Chain A
C-alpha cells in the first residue's frame, strides 16, 4: 500500500511524458507543439537567405550545386555590362 501512491505518480508522470510532443524536433515546433516539416523549413529558410543576398557572388551560389536551379535569382544585366564588361548586351 505504501508503494501505491508513488507508483501511481510514476505511471502518471510516464504517461504524461509519452503524451507530450517529442522533445526534439530537427527544425523546431509549430505553435501547437507538433514538429515542423524539416524539408519545408529548410527550403523556406534557404529561399529567404538566397533572395536576401542577390549579389553576394557573380560566380558562386549559396547552395550546393545539385540544387542550384531551385534557388536561382535573375542576374543584373546592367551591372554585368558596366562592372564586368561582359558581352551579350
Chain B
C-alpha cells in the first residue's frame, strides 16, 4: 500500500515536473516573409552662368529606378534569429549637357544579405552578417551610357554597377537597461575587380580595369529611449587598401570618420517628429605623383566633407500618416587652392516636400514621398599654370532645381 502511494506521489510529481517546462516552452513565432518594391523618379535642371560672360550653360538629367526586395526573418531555434534579404533593381538614366547627351537603361547590382543573431546570453546579443554585391548592373558602359550618368551630388545612382563584393560583419548588441542600448561591430569589405569605361572618348575606347581598395570599418552606436524622446549616436571609422588602375597602384583613400546623430519625439498621440544629422570626413588620400606610382600622401585633401541634416514631422491617425519633410546637405570645398585643377568648390542642397504612408489591412504598407530640391554650387576661380591664369578654366555659380518622388509598397506574410 505504501509502495502504491509512493508510485502515485511520483506520478503527480513527474507531471508537475513537466508543468514548468510546459509554461516555459513557448512556441516560436512564425517566419515572416516581406516582399517590397519601390519606384523613384528624379529630374533636375542646372543653369550655370558662362565664364567668361556669355550665353550660360544648361544641364539636365533624370533617373527612374525600380527596386524589388525579398526578406525572410525567423527563429530557427529558441536562441537564434536569422534574417535573409535579396534586393535588386533596374534604372533608366538620362543626362544632357551643352556638348554631350546620353542614356542608360538596364539592371543595377543586386545585394544579398544574411544575418544570424545569438539570443542565448542575457545582456549580450552577438551577431554575424555576410553581405554581397552581385555585379548584375553595368560598370563598362558605351559612350552613351557613360554620358547618361547624372550629377553624382543629386542623383540616387551615380553609377550603374561595379564588381563582386563580399562584406562580413561581426558585432554585438548590448542592452544596458530599459533606457540605454549599445552596439559595436567590425566589418570588412573585400571588393572585386571590374572593368569600366575608358578615360578617353571614342575612337580610343580601351576599357580600364579597376580593383577598388578593400575597406575595414569599426563602428559603435549608443541609443537612449525615454517616454517620448529617443536618441541615437553612431560613429564609424574606416580604412582602405590601395585601389589599382590596370593593375598599377592608383590611389588609397584616406581614413574616414562618419558620425551620425538621430532622434525622435512623440509630441502627442498623433504628432511625432524625427531628425537626423550625419557628417563624413576623409583624411588626405595617397595618390600617384606625376601620374605614376608609388603612391604618396597628397599635399592637400582632395576629399570634401559632407554634412547632411534632415527632419520629418508626421501626423498619424488610424492607419495613415502624413507630414512635411526637409533636408539640407552641405558639401564643403576640398583642401586644394582654388587656382589649382584639383580644387572642388562647395555646394549646398535643400529639399522640402511631403511624405505619407498607409497600412492596408494587416499585411500591406504603402509609402510615398515628393520633394522639391534646390542646389547652389559656388564659383571657382580661373586656374593658374606657372602663375599665369588660364582664361575660362574657372566655373561660374551653378543653380539647380529639381523634383524627386518615390513610392514604395511592402507586403508581409
Contact residues in B for A74 (Cβ distance below 8 Å): 258, 278, 280, 306, 308
Instruction: Check A84/B23 contact, CB under 8 A, given A47-B232, A56-B189.
Output: no
Q: Is B217 an interface residue (CB 8 A)?
A: yes
Of all chain B residues, the one with the shortest Cβ separation from A57 is B133
Q: Is B81 an interface residue (CB 8 A)?
A: yes
A78 touching B302, Cβ below 8 Å: yes
Interface flags for B4-41 (1: CB within 8 Å of A; 0: not) read 01001110110111011101111011000010111000
User: Which stretch of B50-58, B118-126, B289-297, B384-392 is in the interface?
Assistant: B118-126
Give A8-64 interface residues, CB cut-off 8 Å to B: 9-10, 13-14, 16-18, 20, 22-34, 36-37, 40-41, 43-45, 47-49, 51-64
Q: Complex Cα distance A79/B29, Å? A: 44
Instruction: Check A59/B161 contact, CB under 8 A, given A49-B131, A51-B217, A66-B410.
Output: yes
B159 touching A86, Cβ below 8 Å: yes
Instruction: Check A30/B175 contact, CB under 8 A, given A14-B19, A40-B181, A84-B139.
Output: yes
Of A45, A51, A61, the residue contacting B127 (CB under 8 A) is A45
Of B16, B122, B181, B217, the residue contacting A13 (CB under 8 A) is B16
Q: Is B103 an interface residue (CB 8 A)?
A: no
With a 10 A CB-CB cut-off, give which of B10, B38, B125, B365 has the most chain A CB atoms: B125
Q: Is B183 an interface residue (CB 8 A)?
A: yes
> B211 → chain A, closest Cβ, in Å?
10
B69 touching A65, Cβ below 8 Å: yes
B159 touching A80, Cβ below 8 Å: yes
A52 touching B187, Cβ below 8 Å: yes
Q: Complex Cα distance A25/B303, Å? A: 45
Instruction: Check A57/B25 contact, CB under 8 A, given A49-B185, A74-B278, A80-B158.
Output: no
Q: Complex Cα distance A44/B12, Å? A: 47
Instruction: Check A49/B115 contact, CB under 8 A, given A54-B215, A87-B149.
Output: yes
Instruction: Check A65/B12 contact, CB under 8 A, given A28-B125, A88-B153.
Output: no
Q: Is B94 an interface residue (CB 8 A)?
A: no
A31 touching B123, Cβ below 8 Å: yes
Instruction: Check A84/B133 contact, CB under 8 A, given A13-B20, A30-B177.
Output: no
Query: How many residues on the B side are at the interface (Cβ–Cβ under 8 A)?
Result: 127
Q: Complex Cα distance A64/B169, Å? A: 18
Give B205-237 interface residues, CB cut-off 8 Å to A: 210, 212, 215, 217-219, 221, 223, 225, 232, 234, 236
Q: Is B372 an interface residue (CB 8 A)?
A: no
User: Which stretch of B105-113, B265-273, B313-321 is in the interface?
Assistant: B105-113
Q: Is B162 an interface residue (CB 8 A)?
A: yes
B158 touching A25, Cβ below 8 Å: no
Q: Complex Cα distance A72/B280, Å? A: 12
Of all chain A residues, the one with the shortest Cβ separation from B27 is A24
Of A34, A45, A64, A84, the residue contacting B173 (CB under 8 A) is A45
A88 touching B151, Cβ below 8 Å: yes
Of all chain B residues, the one with the shortest Cβ separation from A73 is B258
A86 touching B119, Cβ below 8 Å: no
A18 touching B221, Cβ below 8 Å: no
Contact residues in B for A3 (Cβ distance below 8 Å): 8-9, 12
Of A22, A30, A58, A89, the residue contacting B123 (CB under 8 A) is A30
Contact residues in A for B171 (Cβ distance below 8 Å): 45, 48-49, 52
Contact residues in B for A24 (Cβ distance below 8 Å): 26, 28, 78
B131 touching A41, Cβ below 8 Å: no
Of B157, B253, B282, the residue contacting A59 (CB under 8 A) is B157
Q: Complex Cα distance A38/B280, Å? A: 29
Contact residues in A for B29 (Cβ distance below 8 Å): 26
Of all chain A residues, the one with the shortest Cβ separation from B9 is A6
Q: Is B62 an interface residue (CB 8 A)?
A: no
Instruction: Check A83/B243 contact, CB under 8 A, given A36-B125, A45-B183, A66-B408.
Output: yes
Q: Measuring CB to CB, which residues of chain A are less than 8 angstroms from any residue of chain B?
A: 2-3, 5-7, 9-10, 13-14, 16-18, 20, 22-34, 36-37, 40-41, 43-45, 47-49, 51-66, 69-70, 72-89
Subset of 27 A-B contacts with CB under 8 Å: A2-B8, A2-B9, A6-B9, A7-B12, A9-B16, A16-B20, A29-B119, A29-B122, A30-B177, A32-B122, A34-B178, A36-B125, A44-B173, A49-B185, A49-B187, A51-B187, A52-B185, A52-B186, A60-B111, A63-B85, A64-B69, A65-B408, A83-B196, A83-B243, A84-B139, A87-B152, A87-B158
